[in-house]
């Protein structure tokens, strides 16, 4: 594929100008593509319950496909997330937190089992990990709390898929059943590879008709009734996973002619290995080329921002119920996202990459045992939530866990960490993230290296420069020692590399084949 970029006819004059400005910016000046530049030791606490001797409860909030566009993370200058920001202000925010896989099923499997994808062998949207003999009896995070006497609740998307609760294993004590909500009868956007979810538009119904509203309502009802104490309540929101649908009032926060695009280069893949494309070879998520040609680049960013603000409002409803029912002082709240999402950066939309836009996620702890108003830049992993919550609640930490407790950083945000954060995308493709570096090694041995202090947008791949050999060697030593091949039943977004041949979802990739649009 040529490093250049041919711009086909676009539908609207402002997008013609946008595409032209991006092209000129990238090829003439070498500057980034944002329309405007973005805005630019703690006290040791111990848990003291207001109910003497009682362990704290846990409110476990998951948000689907939320990248680092959250107000308190200072990643997008316009995003409005007052409820998440307020939660971070009363707790500790990890500004360098990363998922273990940039796709739903392996990421959530890792969170709930406490194991890396390279250990479980779960890399795709299938299988459900309980179908793997080795993991069918593994004690997951909610089971661990249930075994310790907690009443466990769940609603919305915590595990991936719809049928996990019908597999004969009790994952939670109480499973919330909610109305799926109303979905638009027609799509606004027609994307090259289709897919009903590939859409972004104003939600044509009432907010209360959206499934995330119904998820929040169920959680609020349980908190108003008074859940059994202590409780572990997992609440999973769907947005900003596509389709990006929010009511008009949320779009009004981000007028289309004022939307600020993320920083990007039009030909940002000129110095990335060809293998990087194999991680998202053929997917429903459209390329940036489509967005520019069809006048959708600004619109998808607007819809994503609107969706983020809407889901933040639903987080606020749940947190308000916790406070209103006098439960906040004795409840640890942890908020996280399973992975990020590209909106044109690196010439794609979607996830399935090892760069920060896919890997970096919000991670917030608040409540008893957590220092207030602190930010930690230490590398953190979603994998760390299992041991952290166990320690905060006085539970034994299971031996099988591969994560490390974040309690030292919750006591002192500057406390050191002994290792970086690792993200894995399919078999033997890994990203290593420290406070300064992102190092990527693909299954074919090709590499990327970015100085995240000088180059936070990952524009310049330094891996080919001899002067950085020592840094690469140090980071390479951090790669997972276990690299299990995909387990039986692996499917949907599976990439295999064997004997010099890459295979995407069952089809070999011709090394001379053009990069798919």
Tell me the catalytic residues: 104, 160
Where is 376: in which H helix or E strand? strand 374-376
Cα separation, 118 vs 109, whole angstroms: 11
Determine contact, residues 240/197, Cβ cutoff 8 Å.
Answer: no
Could you tell me the sign of the dihedral formed by the alpha carbons of 280, 281, 287, 289, in that order? Answer: positive
Largest CA distance in the chain: 69
57-63 vs 231-237, strand pairing mode: parallel
Where is 276: in which H helix or E strand? helix 275-278
Cα separation, 396 vs 270, whole angstroms: 49
Strand, helix or coil at 235? strand
Q: How many residues does the chain have?
A: 517
Q: Is the bond preceding residue 243 a cis peptide, omega within 30 degrees? A: yes
Closest CA to 429 of 285, 279, 280: 279
Strand, helix or coil at 98? strand
Determine contact, residues 286/44, Cβ cutoff 8 Å.
Answer: no
The neighbour count for residue 25, using CB atoms within 10 Å, is 17
Determine contact, residues 175/165, Cβ cutoff 8 Å.
Answer: yes
Cα separation, 233 vs 218, whole angstroms: 11
Cα separation, 144 vs 131, whole angstroms: 20
Determine contact, residues 201/188, Cβ cutoff 8 Å.
Answer: yes
Could you tell me the sign of the dihedral formed by the alpha carbons of 55, 56, 62, 67, in that order? Answer: negative
Beta bridge partners of 57: 331
DSSP percent split of the chain into helix, strand, coil, nearest 5: 30, 15, 50
Phi, psi of 258 (to 5 degrees): -115, 0
380-381 vs 57-63, strand pairing mode: unpaired
Residue 458 backbone class (left: φ over 0; alpha: ψ -120 to 50; beta: rest): left
Contacts for 271 with CB less than 8 Å, ≥ 6 apart: 460, 461, 464
374-376 vs 380-381, strand pairing mode: unpaired
């Amino acid at each position: 594929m040529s490093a250049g970029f041919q711009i086909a006819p676009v539908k609207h004059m402002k997008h013609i100008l946008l595409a032209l400005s991006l092209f000129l910016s990238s090829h003439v000046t070498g500057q980034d593509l944002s329309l405007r530049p973005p805005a630019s030791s703690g006290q040791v606490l111990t848990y003291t319950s207001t109910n003497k001797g009682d362990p704290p409860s846990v409110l476990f909030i998951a948000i689907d496909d939320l990248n680092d566009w959250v107000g308190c993370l200072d990643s997008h200058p316009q995003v409005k997330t007052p409820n998440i920001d307020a939660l971070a202000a009363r707790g500790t925010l990890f500004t360098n937190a990363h998922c273990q896989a940039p796709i739903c099923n392996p990421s959530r499997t890792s969170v709930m089992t406490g194991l890396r994808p390279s250990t479980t062998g779960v890399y795709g949207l299938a299988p459900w990990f309980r179908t793997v003999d080795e993991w069918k009896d593994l004690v997951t995070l909610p089971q661990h709390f249930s075994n310790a006497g907690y009443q466990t609740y769940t609603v919305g998307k915590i595990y991936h898929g719809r049928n996990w609760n019908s597999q004969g294993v009790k994952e939670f004590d109480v499973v919330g059943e909610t109305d799926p909500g109303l979905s638009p009868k027609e799509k606004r956007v027609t994307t090259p590879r289709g897919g009903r979810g590939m859409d972004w538009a104003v939600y044509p119904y009432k907010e209360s008709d959206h499934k995330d509203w119904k998820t929040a309502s169920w959680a609020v009802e349980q908190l108003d009734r008074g859940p059994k104490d202590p409780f572990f309540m997992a609440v999973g929101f769907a947005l900003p996973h596509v389709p990006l649908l929010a009511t008009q009032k949320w779009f009004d926060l981000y007028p289309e002619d004022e939307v600020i695009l993320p920083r990007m280069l039009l030909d940002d893949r000129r110095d990335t290995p060809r293998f990087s494309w194999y991680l998202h070879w053929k997917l429903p998520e459209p390329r940036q080329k489509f967005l520019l040609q069809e006048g959708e680049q600004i619109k998808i960013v607007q819809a994503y921002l609107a969706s983020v603000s809407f889901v933040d409002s639903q987080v606020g409803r749940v947190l308000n119920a916790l406070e209103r029912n006098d439960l906040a002082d004795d409840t640890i709240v942890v908020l996280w996202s399973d992975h990020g999402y590209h909106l044109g950066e690196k010439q794609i939309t979607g996830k399935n990459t090892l760069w920060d836009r896919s890997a970096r996620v919000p991670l917030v702890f608040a409540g008893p045992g957590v220092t207030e108003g602190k930010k930690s830049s230490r590398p953190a992993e979603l994998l760390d939530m299992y041991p952290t919550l166990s320690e905060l609640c006085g539970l034994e930490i299971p031996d099988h866990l591969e994560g490390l407790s974040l309690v030292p950083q919750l006591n002192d945000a500057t406390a050191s960490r002994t290792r970086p954060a690792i993200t894995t995308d399919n078999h033997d493709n890994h990203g290593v993230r420290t406070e300064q570096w992102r190092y990527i090694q693909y299954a074919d041995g090709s590499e990327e290296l970015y100085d995240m202090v000088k180059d936070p947008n990952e524009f310049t791949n330094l891996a080919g420069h001899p002067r950085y050999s020592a840094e690469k060697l140090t980071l390479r030593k951090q790669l997972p020692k276990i690299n299990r091949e995909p387990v039986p039943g692996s499917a949907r977004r599976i990439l295999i590399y064997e004997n010099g041949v890459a295979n995407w979802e069952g089809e070999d990739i011709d090394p001379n084949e053009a990069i798919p649009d």
